[in-house]
Amino acid sequence: MTKQRPTHTDSPNPLLWRGQGEANPLLNPFPGIHKTAPFKSVKIEHYLPAFDAAIEEARKEVQEIIDNPADPDFINTIVALDLAGERLERIKSIFFNLNSAETCDEMQDIAQEIAPKLSDFGNDITLNEQLFARINKVNNRRESLVLNTEEKTLLEKTYRRFVRNGANLNEEDKAKYREITKELSQLGLKYQQNVLAETNAFELLIADNKDLSGLPVSVVELAAQTAKEKNKEGWLFNLQYPSYVPFLKYADNRELREQIFRASSSRANHGNENDNNEIIKRMVELRIEKAHLLGFRTHAAYKLQERMAETPEKVTLFLNDLHQESKPFATREFAEVQEFAEKSGFTGLVQRWDWTYYSEKLKSEKYNFTEEEVKPYFQLEKVIEGVFGLAKRLYGLRLQENKDIEVYHPEVTAYEVFDENNVFVAVLYLDFFPREGKRSGAWMTDYRPQSNVNGNSVRPHISLVTNFSKPTETTPSLLTFYELTTFLHEFGHGLHGMLSQCQFPGTSGTNVYWDFVELPSQIHENWAYEKEWLDTFAVHYQTGGRLPEELIRKIQDAQKFQAAYQMERQLSFAMLDMAYHHRELPVDGDLKAFEMNATASTDLFEPVEGSLQSTAFSHIFSGGYDAGYYSYKWAEVLDADAFSVFQEKGIFDCETADSFRKNILEKGGSEHPMNLYKSFRGQEPTVTALLKRNGLT
């Protein structure tokens, strides 16, 4: 199914009761403020019966559409289908969001059990001939229908979804399609579980404090606290971002840097029960089979039919153009680090576990600046104030914590969001710190999307999840500059969800083309480099002194540091993604050789035995970015071009912010993204602003 029926959870239903008379909170109307998820009441044993009941209920709702004796029209078929299965969608959002943010073995077992059921249910909808006949009949009359732009978009999106999910296949091919999609759903979950297991399995316990040489005090404190939490003596490092990245950046002990790097870069590539090699090969093979069944030459061609880029050839050209611009600069940057390392007494070639270490020292020498200098000015609580203040200044939003809204973990905070007229806009959950039950990275998701069908306004419930540096016994959570930009990035996604003003769940919020969805997130990162915004919150957590102007200039100067190397790194990921997905035959043989061949043009290092990006490349094998990783660079072009308007008119210019809100953030996927972009910008984007920002001109 697609999205949610806004009013359905208010209706009692005979399916809502478990076997012995115990109410299932997932199936009863949600009693909380704004009908938020009843996290505290939900137990593991509630999920399976809730899924079963909600699937049965959704089947009946869809059958009502099929059995409707009235001639199919936009309302009784297209809108009705978009609203069907709301209860199931809410249960799915709760379960799968928690399976990423607060999982356990039991939840992972349930995920494997429910995945094929959901796959079967989805296929039963899109492969239903009677239902597709109604949709097709409405679509064939689309030119004579009186529909607004969003309604036309929903009709086109619905029709295309059915066709792209096998509605036109013969019965034999429909059976094949069912098996393929069912297996893919299970493999994607298993892939993600393997990465999490491998991430949690590694620990680097340091007993001798001489091995802590070079590490900042805050990093050492966090490692001591982590060890204490595990009832171990010494300092414990792991593969979570706040531990792993600073260790590579600052630790003088090269052997330990190599050890932790090899552990991270070889996750799920050890030939054990968590190995992802064969899963990758099988997923690629199944995706090719699925594409061929549906009449596409490759999986990438299938996926890109609904992207701004449109074709694999355009993506390849886009990536190669950026590569040609950045590679000469990146080669010089690599040589500069090699030369600096040699001057520092290093012999031999700089390896991957040396790069961040010597790059940080080079940056410190060139700009007299390190990230550790600015961390004391980025206390998490103050950063939250700054980000919320930015939302107020740009969009008139006010965020207010409400402790009566239930959360799924004690570290999670819930906020009510109001507009400038004190009208309720959204619920926002913030979940900042690493846990063993949380996958790595940072992401935005929703527990309920926005919609407004027939005047029934449903406001969204949005969640932002990160893995930021935790507070210690002596210091609060102090963010790195990268974590600051990550917060702004995810908050930008959140604004896209919260400010949505669409009619239908299927077109609202972040339901947009994937190479457009990163624009609202990435554009907001730009404020991190602006003194006018930093001055609103960045004060030293001990002295209260404002972030010095000299440090702000250093942040700005360092923005272009190794920008070409970073671009090449991102391009290598995108090229690897396209190598897996713009192919007509399965991947045979060694994945290491395949990976090296795919990224050879961007690579600057010697290969590392045992390392394999693919086995932990969750974006493309369990995160939905298959044939879509290029979208980060695509959206960078959009965001640099769009932010140039703010730079020209003022970073807090009300007219520009209002235009971005009304033409981008509020519109969701209600029409083609290029039309939305041109409504804001007045023209199509160019790469000029991005190349200028990165110093590649």
C-alpha span between 434 and 443 (Å, rounded): 13
Q: Are residues 161 and 206 in the same domain?
A: no
Cα dihedral value 426, 427, 432, 435, nearest 10 = -130
Q: β-pairing, 456-458 with 424-431? A: unpaired
Among 216, 249, 265, residue at a domain's last position: 265
- pLDDT of 608: 96
Whether 282 is covered by a domain: the verdict is no
Same domain, 403 and 495: yes
- The answer to whether residue 260 is domain-embedded is yes
Query: Does residue 412 sit within a domain?
Result: yes
446 falls within a domain: yes
> Could you tell me if residue 692 is inside a domain?
no
Tell me, yes or no, whether 250 and 387 share the same domain: no
Return the residue matching tokens 């990465």: 195
Pick the last residue of a domain from 236, 265, 294. Answer: 265
Let me know whether 12 and 158 are in one domain. yes
Give the single-character DSSP code of 425.
E
Residue 487, domain CATH: 1.10.1370.40
pLDDT for 8 equals 30
What is Dmax (Cα atoms) for the chain?
82
Regarding whether 216 and 163 lie in a shared domain, the answer is no
Asked whether residue 188 is assigned to any structural domain, the reply reads no
Catalytic residue among 483, 490, 525, 595: 490
Among 559, 580, 595, give the residue marking a domain's end. 559
Sheet holding 461-465, edge to edge: 398-401, 413-418, 424-431, 461-465, 443-448
Instruction: Give residues with Cβ within 8 angstroms of 608, minimum separation 6.
Output: 261, 262, 265, 351, 352
Nearest CA to 579 among 321, 287, 352?
287
Give the model's pLDDT for residue 22. 63
Q: Determine the Cα–Cα distance for residues 439 and 608; give it in Å rounded to an integer.
A: 25
Q: Which two tokens stand for residue 97?
A: 């969001």
Is residue 25 domain-shared with residue 160, that is, in the same domain? yes
Active site residue 490: yes
pTM reported for the whole predicted model: 0.93
131 and 206, same domain (yes or no): no
Q: Are residues 479 and 433 in the same domain?
A: yes
Write down the pLDDT at residue 14: 34
294 belongs to a structural domain? no
| Structural domain boundaries, residue 235 | 202-265
Residues with Cβ within 8 Å of residue 208, at least 6 apart in sequence? none
Q: Are residues 106 and 214 in the same domain?
A: no
Query: What does DSSP assign to residue 229?
Result: H
- Which residues of the chain are under the pLDDT cut of 70? 1-22
| CB 178, CB 530: distance < 8 Å | no
Q: How many domains does the chain have?
A: 3
Residue with tokens 């907001």: 524
For residue 71, being part of any structural domain is answered with: yes
Separation of alpha carbons 215 and 248, rounded Å:
9
The verdict on 13 and 107 lying in the same domain is yes
Contact 380, 468 (CB under 8 A): yes
Mark whether 487 and 402 lie in a shared domain. yes
- What pLDDT is recorded for position 1? 28
Token digits for 411? 């570290």
Taking a C-beta distance cutoff of 8 angstroms, is the pair 558, 363 a contact?
yes
What is the bridge-based pairing of β-strands 461-465 and 413-418? Answer: unpaired
Identify whether residues 396 and 464 lie together within a single domain. Answer: yes
Give the pair of three-digit tokens for residue 12.
């009692």
